[in-house]
Amino acid sequence: MRYGTRLHLVLVLLSATSFLAYGAACFLSPHHQREFDRYGLGSQRALVGALQLAAAIGLVVGLYLPSMGRAAASGLALMMLVAVVVRIRIKDTLVQTTPALLYLALNAYLAWAAF
């Protein structure tokens, strides 16, 4: 980790844990299947889930190999930027869009400062 702070470690583990859960839910949760259909991305659900799982693992590996962590965090930030755009396009509320905005900010920060 770039600065080796406990805060960075906690934030990396928070993001990694979240995306392990979200990635698994893409495969296991009927609710996620309905949500991807609502987004107009039903055919992309498995790909998004696999990318989220891979990036979550990449964040953890990044604790030992910073370039991997930076790539994973950057990829997740980009994925969350797309998620925000999708949510705006389908006219979701700010409350519905806020988690994607927060994970966008978190992973952009991690890519910039934590690795």
Model's pTM, two decimal places?
A: 0.92
Q: What pLDDT, on the 0 to 100 scale, is given for residue 92?
A: 97
What pLDDT digit, counting tens, does each position of 16-45 carry? 999 999 999 999 999 999 999 999 999 999
How large a percentage of the chain has pLDDT more than 90? 93
Question: Residue 101 — very low, low, confident or very high, per pLDDT cuts 50/70/90?
Answer: very high
d(CA 53, CA 60): 11
Distances (CA, A) of 39 to 22, 87, 102: 16, 7, 19
Residue 4 zone, left/alpha/beta (φ > 0; ψ -120 to 50; rest): left
d(CA 60, CA 46): 22
Residue 41 phi, psi dihedral angles, 5° rounding: -125, 30
Q: What pLDDT, on the 0 to 100 scale, is given for residue 4?
A: 66
Q: Which residue has the tokens 């790539």?
A: 71
Q: What pLDDT, on the 0 to 100 scale, is given for residue 2?
A: 56
d(CA 46, CA 78): 17
